[in-house]
A = this chain, B = another copy of it.
Amino acid sequence: MNYDTGAILVLSGPSGAGKSSLIKKIEPEIGDYYFSISTTTRPMRAGETEGVDYHFVSMQTFEEDIENEHFLEYASVHGNYYGTSIKPVKKALKEGKLVLFDIDVQGHDAVRSRLGDITTSVFITTPSLHELKKRLNNRATDAREVIDNRIKMAKREIQRISEFDYLIINEDLDQAAKHLTRIAKAAKLKIPSIDISNFIRQWEENE
């Protein structure tokens, strides 16, 4: 029996909180899922791959897609567009998959307002701002300005934690991954992710 209609798991939180490492760690545990790849107009950076890091498109293509309502959510950041195409998300949900999003607080807001019923959201953060700064500085791959921007954004985003369903304080990666796996697996048991009227009909059949 399968009454699955798919579910959405939104992960947000400051850059440096360890979202990517967490996602990699829970991948083998959570079964059939689809990781939503964002579309952007910003230029591809060294080491990035089309279709893995982002879908890279032109400004014109992006704006046509906006007009044709192809985006579940989109935003303009520093003159570049970032968005989530709705088509692959719908397809994955139809297949009963868990759809994973790594998006910011704004994006979560947009997804929740359109697909709130089947959405579970998790805010992932470091134990402290101090620890976040330490981790960002230790990466040493980013320019001072980029780091400062991320810290500014983190301070803003942390104020909006209460818009989320769950909080994970990523102090110990293994422990945090365990928490996230539980939440991800539970997300698929959420009532709105199940075709209830169909379930009740079949439950009562051949009594």
Contacts and interface: CB of A to CB of B under 8 A. Distances in A.
Interface stretch (A65-73, A75-83, A135-143, A164-172): A164-172
Given A166-B191, A167-B194, A169-B1, A130 B186 contact: no
A179 B189 CA distance: 8
B128 A206 contact: yes
Contact of A130 (B181, B182, B185, B207): B207
Contact of A179 (B1, B123, B185): B185
Contacts of A159: 200
Contact of A202 (B128, B167, B206): B128
B203 A125 contact: yes
A165 to B, nearest CB: 6
Contacts of A164: 191
Q: Quick one: copies of this chain in the complex?
A: 2
Contacts of A206: 128, 130
A190 B203 contact: no
A94 interface: no
Contact of A158 (B127, B155, B190, B203): B203
- Which 10 A-B pairs rank lowest in CB-CB distance, beginning with the nearest? A182-B182, A129-B207, A166-B189, A183-B186, A182-B186, A186-B186, A182-B185, A129-B204, A162-B196, A128-B203
5 contacts: A128-B205, A155-B204, A162-B196, A166-B189, A186-B186
